[in-house]
Structures are given as structure tokens and as C-alpha cells.
Amino acid sequence: MAIAKMSRMKLVGLKSEQEKILSALHKTCAIQIISNESDITSQVETNGFAEKFDKLSFACDFLFSNVNRISKENKDVAPLKEEVYGVTYDQFVNALSLETTLEPTIKTVYEVYESINDLKVERAKLESEKSVYKPFIGLKQKFSAFLDTAKTRVFLGTLKPSSANAFLELDLPCKAYIECEDAQNAVLSVVCLQKDENLILQNLTAVGFSRTNLSGDFTAQEKVDEIDRQIKIIDKKLLQCDQKISEARKDFKDMKILLDRYRFELELSRDKHGFEKTDSTFILDAYVPTEATDRVEEAVKGVSDMVFTQFTEIPKDEFAPTLMKNKKLTKQFEFVTNLYSPPKYGTIDQNFVMMIFFSIFMGFIMADIGYGLVMIVGGILMAKKIGRDTGVARLSNIIAFGGVFTVLFGVLFDSFFGYGLLRGLGVLDSPIMPDAINHKLNVAGISVPTLLLLSLGMGVVQIMASLLLKAAQSFKDGHILDGIFDGVSWAVFLGGLILLVVDMAGLTTGLTMPAVIIIAVSVLVGALTAGRHAKGFGKVTKSFSAVYGLINYMSDILSYARLYGLMLSGAQIAGIVTNMALPMMHGAMSIVAVLILIVGHVFNLVMGLLGAYIHDSRLQYIEFYGRFYEGEGELFCPFGTKFENVYFADKN
């Protein structure tokens, strides 16, 4: 539950030893190079890695999309998946040796790409040509039979069947025949004397006649058959291309690993370009966790005797990237915080406290033994399937841990997929928790559901925790009075408020007066000290603002009513689904009952989880973080560890 102290490292080394020094630093996974952005230009020398990266990136994308296209057409071909591969550090460093092995595959991919494009263009041309001949498929004569003579003119073309019949009914000096027809087109041949050509042509145009310019000593069917033969040849060649693609997939993993190796080289080139340099030396600036400075220095000294390193711890009021040092379980909940904003360097890491509240709230909202077990098993299996530390894996673990609290609250509410399991087994006579709707407490003459008061009470406790964290941050910064007056005093006010409500609800006796005194004193202290940093009349206005701020406290507390609403709606749906299905569990209706149970509870679980996560997160971000949290931090990102396709399996 801490944010690591950071140091700034300045390293001076020989240019001749730059590569091995950077390699040693990379292996530590403990430095974040400070790039001189003003020196980074488009003229960065990449030693050809930019071109290699672009070429390999295209090959990977082409292979991925086409293998998946083939898998849709051929069920025997398994699709490629977007995976991230675990490699050892040494495997990654030596990945450049894959270039020789992969060169034939990359060459083949590019050849296949060009072949497929050429073949598709050729096929499209043939299909277009085929469409021209299709209307004449029923024509038995060859096109050469419809040629003009010295004294006659022959017209061959298409038009609508109704128009063809209309033309035949005209009294014109010609011979006309419908050679063939279908629902859309009729093929019409017309023969007339040369002197009547214009008259006939005018009448043909008037009925929508489209004259063809096709010619040759063949029929349309013969031509279409020839085109089909050519298309089959092209399709065969395309199939051969697909076979080459399927064979190339065996190298896909190595291609993706090499791609990230190129990405690392590009990052290295940009960083090196920003180094300050002399004729024989280079100067590197970097952020290093203070606890890792000895390890980093040892790594550097291990590869060079001619190197100077200096580490200076960064004060908490200056900028440095944030590295949170949490136990494995708390680390999962950093995902929730980072979606909002990473904490600022030098502040308190609140993730452990947030984890407790987040999990309790999720458990209270879901509150079902069956749902909790599904969350635990599903979350663990999903995290194991991913097998590495990603946002999705952390979210899966969060759901699994929330499932533990869901089971606990499920026991308290005696709900197993909406069924009273513990009562059915005779373990309990009634649920431990009060009835969500009917059990109420009278507070100042107002009847309020007990569980609604519990939800609001949990909210008050979390807001108190936020104020105490605010005080802790002030104490850490050396502002003792700020911590007492801006944090502790208002937390005490909320504590008095809890005592007052508990006593008014009849759960205790004799606490009303002490609670009122606590509330009055804490508000008085908070109000009178609110303007201590202001000048002149501002001291008075700040006091009024502090008192007026009590409205904000009430508003934030009421926000926690959503816990009650979400819990109640989920419980009601679960109960309705189960109570609807159980009476049907006999005979053929059992199938219907099982379907109702599966569909109903899956829907309720998914919607409940979605609502629980969103609203739970909102409570953390606004009501909890809103009073003390300093975000806008920048996560510590070690040099050469930010990849898309690989991760170091031998690094923590």
C-alpha cells in the first residue's frame, strides 16, 4: 500500500560501449529513459528497422486476415487468434536471429499478396466479360451468322420481352425473330434491306433495343464455357495461394515476436537520438525506483568499467512517474484506479482501502451464493486463460474476489439463485439479514427500509475513510493542522451523524445528546478553521462555505442508496425466475423450466455484474476519491517493456 520512491539517474558512458550498456539496463526492467523530445526529429536513424517493421507488420496483418478468411470457408483450418506470447528475456534479445528463418516466409507472403491481387483483377475482368454474353446463352447460332451483306443489314440485340412482341406487331419492311428470351430479356434479330436501315433502326431504338457488337465464329454458350474454364484455372491458382498462406501460418508466432523486437529497436533508436553526446561519450537520463538503484548500477558496472552513474532521489513535490507497490490481490484493483487516473507521485496509495469498499459493495449488490460461485469460478478461469497481467485479467480477478463477498452476503440473505437454500436445508429458520422491503426502522417519524439505512451507513463509513486518507496525506506532507481541520474534524462529524441516526432508529439509547455534541463541535471547528489560509473577508466566507458544504455531504451519502436499489432489483429478478421455474420441474415441462432458469439467471447475472461494476466504480471515483485523491499521475513504464505481441515470462 505504497507508491515507490523514484530517483533520477544520470549516466555517462563511452559511445563504443553504448549498446552493451543499454542492453544491461534493458535487462533490469527498472529504468524509464527520459527522452529529450525537442531533439527528436523525423531524421532519426533507425538502421533500416523502420522499413523492416513496416514490411513485417504488413505480412502479419495479411497472414492474420487471410488465414481467418480461409477458416470461414474451410472448417478444417483453425483461425488465428490475437495472442500475446510469453518469451524469456534471452529469447527476445536473440529474436533478430529469426530474420534468416522468416525471410522465405515473408517473401512468400508478399508473392502471394501480389498473385492474389493480379488473379482477382483477372477474374473480375472475366466475370465482366461473361456477363456480356449471358443474355445470349439461348442463341443457337454463332455470332458470325448475323453479319451484314452487300444489300442487307442485320440487327442483333436485346430488349424487354414485351417490347420485342410490340416490335413484331409493327408493319415494317423487315424480318424479325425472337431468338430466345427469359423473364428479363429477349434476344431479337432483325434483317432488312440496306435502304430501310434508318427506318428500322429508329423503330428499334424507340422500343429500347440494345444492339450488340459481339462477333466471332462461336456461340454465346461456347464463349461462356471458355470463360468458365479460365475462371476455374484462376480459382485453382487462388486455392494454391490459400494453401501457401495456410503453410505460412506456422511462422506467425515468430513473426509477431520479431515484430516487437523491431519495435524495441525503433524505441531504442528514438531514445538514443535524444541522448546528449560528445565525440566519444553519451549521456543518459532516466527514472529509476530508488529501491532498484543498486541493482541498476550493478548491471551497468557488470558490462563496463568506464561508466559514471549518479542517482538523485526525487522529492515528493516534483514530477516523477508513479510505481505502485502493492501485494498481488491489491494490485488487481489498480485496474479500477488507473481507469480513472493513476495516482500522482508522492501521494498515498489508496488502492487497499478502495479494494475493501469496492468488494463489499459488489458483494452487497449481487448478494447470492450461486452468483458468487459463478463469479469466483468464472473470474479465476478467465484470468488463468489469459495467463499474464493484463487489464482483462485484473478485471477477472476483481470479479472473482467480489464473488467471495457475494457468497458471504448470499449466506446472510439466504439466496442461492433466488432460492432459500439454507432454510430449505434446515440450517436457518430465517435469513440473517432483515427483509429488504418489509423490515423498516422509524427514524424521526419516517419509516425507512433497514437495508436502505445500511447502504447509506456504508456510504458514510467510506466518506469517513476518504477524509481520514485526506488527513493522512496532509500529515505526510507535514501539514498537521490541515489534516486535523480539513480531514479528521469532518470525519468525526460523520461519526456523530451515524451515532445520531442509530439512536433515533431505536437501535441504541442515550446517544442522542453525545451525538449532537459531537456533530456541533466538529462542525464548529471545521467552519471556524476553514478560512485560516484566506485573507480579510475571505476568512468569513470560507466559514459559511464550509457549513454550506454539509449539503454536499448529504447529497453524496444519498448516492449510496443505489447499493440498495441494485441489490433489491437483482434479488427480485432472481426470486421471480426461480419461483417461476420450480413449479414446472416435472415431466416434459422440466425442459422449459431449465431453460427459464438458465436464460433468466444468466441475464440477471450479466446485467447485475455490469451494473455492480459501473455503479461501484462511480462511488469510488466521485464520492470516495473526490475528497482527497490527487490523480493525473503517469505510470512508470520501464524502457523496452511496452510491447503488443510479447511479454517477458521470466520477469515479475
Q: How confident is the model over 414-424, as pLDDT tens digits?
A: 999 999 999 98
Position 359 confidence tier, pLDDT thresholds 50, 70, 90: very high
Q: Are the C-beta atoms of residues 12 and 300 closer than 8 Å to each other?
A: no
Angstrom distance (rounded) from CA 351 to CA 374 = 25
| Matching residue, cell 536471429 | 97
Note the CATH number of domain 447-559.
1.20.120
Q: How confident is the model over 23-40, as pLDDT tens digits?
A: 999 989 899 998 765 544
Give span(s): CATH 1.20.120, the chain: 447-559
Angstrom distance (rounded) from CA 640 to CA 181 = 71
pLDDT (0 to 100) of residue 271: 82
C-alpha cell at 481: 493542522
Residue 574 CB contacts under 8 Å (≥ 6 apart), including other chains: 368, 371, 415, 417, 418, 601, 604
Q: Which amino acid is it at 386? A: I
pLDDT (0 to 100) of residue 44: 63
Q: How many CA atoms lie within 13 A of 533 on its CB side?
A: 6
Helices (H) and strands (E) in the chain, counts: 23, 15
- Contacts from 424-433 at CB under 8 Å and sequence distance 24+? 433/409
Q: How confident is the model over 319-345, as pLDDT tens digits?
A: 999 999 999 999 999 999 999 999 999
Terminal-residue alpha carbon distance, the chain: 18
Angstrom distance (rounded) from CA 91 to CA 96 = 9
Q: Are the C-beta atoms of residues 59 and 241 closer than 8 Å to each other?
A: no
pLDDT (0 to 100) of residue 651: 61
pLDDT at 272 exceeding the cut of 70: yes
Q: Are the C-beta atoms of residues 236 and 114 closer than 8 Å to each other?
A: no
pLDDT at 42 exceeding the cut of 60: no
pLDDT at 20 exceeding the cut of 50: yes
pLDDT (0 to 100) of residue 207: 94
Angstrom distance (rounded) from CA 348 to CA 3 = 7
pLDDT at 213 exceeding the cut of 70: yes
Q: How confident is the model over 618-628, as pLDDT tens digits?
A: 999 999 999 89
pLDDT (0 to 100) of residue 533: 73
Nearest to 560 by CA among 440, 452, 438: 452
Angstrom distance (rounded) from CA 284 to CA 309 = 9
Q: What is the pTM for the complete model shown?
A: 0.81
Q: Which amino acid is it at 540? A: V
Count how many residues are written for the chain. Answer: 652
Give span(s): CATH 3.30.70.2750, the chain: 140-218
pLDDT (0 to 100) of residue 40: 46
pLDDT (0 to 100) of residue 37: 56
Q: Are the C-beta atoms of residues 246 and 70 closer than 8 Å to each other?
A: yes
Give Cα separations from 210 to 13, 125, 140, 168, 219 (angstroms).
82, 22, 19, 16, 19
Q: How confident is the model over 461-515, as pLDDT tens digits?
A: 999 999 999 999 999 989 999 999 989 999 999 999 999 999 998 888 888 899 9
Please give the share of the chain, as a percent, with pLDDT higher than 90: 74
pLDDT at 47 exceeding the cut of 50: yes
Ranges 73-87, 101-115, 601-615: which has the least confidence: 73-87
Query: What average pLDDT does the segment 55-74 reach?
Result: 93
C-alpha cell at 389: 497481467
C-alpha cell at 40: 527528436
Residue 212 CB contacts under 8 Å (≥ 6 apart), including other chains: 136, 156, 157, 158
DSSP string, 546-563: HHHTHHHHHHHHHHTHHH
Angstrom distance (rounded) from CA 274 to CA 277 = 9
Angstrom distance (rounded) from CA 604 to CA 219 = 66
pLDDT (0 to 100) of residue 35: 76
Angstrom distance (rounded) from CA 228 to CA 520 = 94
Q: How many CA atoms lie within 13 A of 314 on its CB side?
A: 24
Ranges 251-255, 448-452, 547-551, 632-636: which has the least confidence: 547-551
Position 295 confidence tier, pLDDT thresholds 50, 70, 90: very high
pLDDT (0 to 100) of residue 412: 96
Residue 391 CB contacts under 8 Å (≥ 6 apart), including other chains: 335
pLDDT at 53 exceeding the cut of 60: yes
Note the CATH number of domain 140-218.
3.30.70.2750
Q: What are phi and psi of 289, to 5 degrees?
A: -55, 130
pLDDT at 120 exceeding the cut of 60: yes
Query: What average pLDDT does the segment 259-288 reach?
Result: 88
